[in-house]
Chain A
Amino acid sequence: MLVARDLHTFFDSSHVLHGIDFSVAEGETVALMGRNGVGKTTLIRSMLGHVQPRTGSVRIAGRDATRLAPYRIARLGVAYVPEGRGVFPNLSVIENLVMAARPGDDRRTGWTLERVLETFPRLSERLQHRGMQLSGGEQQMLTLGRALMTNPKLLVLDEATEGLAPLIAQEIWHTIRVLRDAGTATIIVDKNFAVLSHLAHRCVILVKGRKVFDGPPAELSMQPGLRRQYLGI
């Protein structure tokens, strides 16, 4: 589904990604982990066209996506829920959803407005509210629901449960599980190792812009030393 090779990304002269290989197979759930500032968000943005890596290549759905504009990458079937959400504050809830509606790259239309509202009933009570009037949890549901309106094959979630009340986080996790079981590939960045270790097929750990671990979560669970060293948990 997505294969990135040897990505080097710079912000001016600061070298943030030091040659990262990263991949997600069809239907695979990959947890991207690491302490604050190691480059998780930068890796995601480098793969999705929001940041230009200086060298390296990205292939998505069998196509070279290295220098592709973000909207073209999205049309290959990739939906992105960025850090800090990205709800359009000046659009109503229903407008946030409707403006994004699109059949998937293979004409899939499994996710409709009705189904998104069924998944997040709270949103249907607030259809006419503006994005800026929503609580943090509602905003997160809206961004996730909006991402689903594009009928993605790969969903990228950067800190989707950050700062949410436990009950709401649970609702988000539940949806992610449903997506995983339905065969949607997912890249998840999150602090909740306990949940990720059950959910993910594979974990990738970054340290200072380098990949230091790539394997099944069971392997990490068996090696508390690795976890402590790389994640501080």
Chain B
Amino acid sequence: MEWLIQILNSVQYGLLLFLVASGLTLIFGIMGVINLAHGSFYMIGAYLAFSLAELTGSLWTALPLGIVLAFALGLVLEILLISRLYRRDHLYQVLLTFGLILVFEEMRSILVGDDVHGVAIPALLDASLPLTENLSYPVYRLFISAVCLVLAALMYFTIQKTRLGMMVRAGASNAEMTQALGINIRWIHALVFAAGVALAVFAGMIAAPVSSVFPGMGNQVLIICFVIVVIGGIGSLKGALIASLLIGFVDTFGKVLLPELAGVAVYLLMAIVLLFRPAGLYGRP
């Protein structure tokens, strides 16, 4: 039964990573921007969960508040800063978004401090599901997986089945033609960026109760998410989902089966995938 727990943990970790990586891959695939600050949004989410839960007394009120704030932050950032990067070299993108990381970490330090925090699991989900006589699984982790799955399905539906999604895909392949059809591509870009920010912030918020809240947590996630984007193929949501789950499994089982290799297992996976598919699993070479 031990392995079932590891499987559930792998899936939960992978799906959570997907929420962050999906925004990263979309922003790269659609606007061509390398956003180093994407991990910071995850960190901001975790700290938002902590602060808003303190303030309102409940994670359930904190979550919707956080999403609204995140979406607004995403819109403001896109309109003021990120939109200036679209026609520029990757070097400018990396410089500006790295600058944003420093700004966000400094703001976090000023506003909330540098302490490590924990966020309580909401009472409603603070239970364990018994698996055997002496093994059980926390309900909250199942909740995370379920919510991530719902969001992934929602994302798939929006992009593949709605007119908005068609416009997003059209804009990614030919922005000028999309404009010529009367579609304001700047709004589409702002919307995609803000949605990416909201997803990453949301991931940080729901993850807060199971992983402590600490400075620099965004950077860890950022690096893993870049690995996911590369494995999945830049711009591919399907690729990001599969790569996220793969990373979830490799990381979780790596720690159990080969503890001495735990740090490098995900990079090994990336190297192996790139050896056979240089553009990633679903990337267009």
- Is the CB of A111 closer than 8 A to any CB of chain B? no
B182 adjacent to A88 (CB under 8 Å): no
CA distance A158 to B177 in the complex (A): 13
B170 adjacent to A99 (CB under 8 Å): yes
Query: Given that A86-B174, A88-B174, A90-B172 are known contacts, is A74 also in contact with B166, CB under 8 Å in the complex?
Result: no
Q: Mark A60-83, 1 if CB is under 8 A from B, else 0.
A: 000000000111001100011010
Contact for B177 among A82, A98, A101, CB less than 8 A: A82
Sorting the interface of chain B by its residue count into under 10, 10 to 19, 20 to 34 or 35 or more gives 10 to 19
Kindly name the residue among B163, B166, B180 whose own CB sees the greatest number of chain A CB atoms within 10 A: B180
CA distance A75 to B173 in the complex (A): 21
Q: Mark A86-102, 1 if CB is under 8 A from B, else 0.
A: 10111100011011111
CA distance A98 to B166 in the complex (A): 8
B184 adjacent to A69 (CB under 8 Å): yes
Q: Mark B159-172, 1 if CB is under 8 A from A, else 0.
A: 00001001101101
Query: Given that A88-B173, A88-B174, A90-B173 are known contacts, is A82 also in contact with B180, CB under 8 Å in the complex?
Result: yes
Taking the nearest CB of chain B, how far is it from the CB of A231, in angstroms? Answer: 28
B residues in contact with A147, CB < 8 Å: 181
B residues sitting closer than 8 Å to A (CB atoms) are 163, 166-167, 169-170, 172-174, 176-185
A-B contact pairs, 26 of them (CB 8 A): A50-B176, A50-B179, A69-B179, A70-B176, A71-B180, A71-B185, A74-B179, A74-B181, A75-B182, A79-B180, A82-B180, A86-B174, A86-B176, A86-B180, A88-B174, A89-B173, A91-B166, A95-B169, A98-B166, A99-B166, A100-B181, A101-B163, A102-B181, A102-B182, A147-B181, A150-B181
A residues sitting closer than 8 Å to B (CB atoms) are 48, 50, 69-71, 74-75, 79-80, 82, 86, 88-91, 95-96, 98-102, 146-147, 150
